[in-house]
Structure 1
């Protein structure tokens, strides 16, 4: 946690770093895809089955983007028919603590929102 005020250049550096990170993992699918890949090498259909409601077109787009950012490795095997496997790279593994913290915050947030929505009992 930042406990002191940042200078304007320091603040800009912080903002740029966060923006860069968000540009890579933005959207609702990329982190879910990375989590699905942490189970090991996975074929396209396996990933699609692990992530409810993702379309094949969206999964394909997101995998290409994650590959460009070196978070996913795509391996094509010379078989009949051709088979393709996707793997989370060591660089993707560096996101593990970030995703764990997001999970903790998500659970905390869900609890807070659900508590607020509960109707108080009438006396």
Structure 2
């Protein structure tokens, strides 16, 4: 009877350790993602401000349309690139958070 209690206690401790390790990984990953989003927002705001200044200082309507088209293209490309990067960061974070459970899952699969 006491042997089973010790096994249950050890299993509970191991499960808590895995959960805490996974939570720590998720926490670090979310901090990195939040920092990346903040950097992107600042960069995007700066680029938008520069585009408005360029648009306002345009001497002709053709130059204004050209400036607006250039900004739209670069903003779209930047957005797609950033979303790709964030997707990769979320994928990596999920894989890292799952790692503590790989051993348990492989035992259950057998």
**Bigger relative contact order, structure 1 or 2, given CA contacts below 8 A and separation 6+?**
2
More strand by share: 1
> Per the shorter chain, which TM-score range?
0.3 to 0.5
* TM-score normalised by length of structure 2: 0.34
Rg larger for: 2
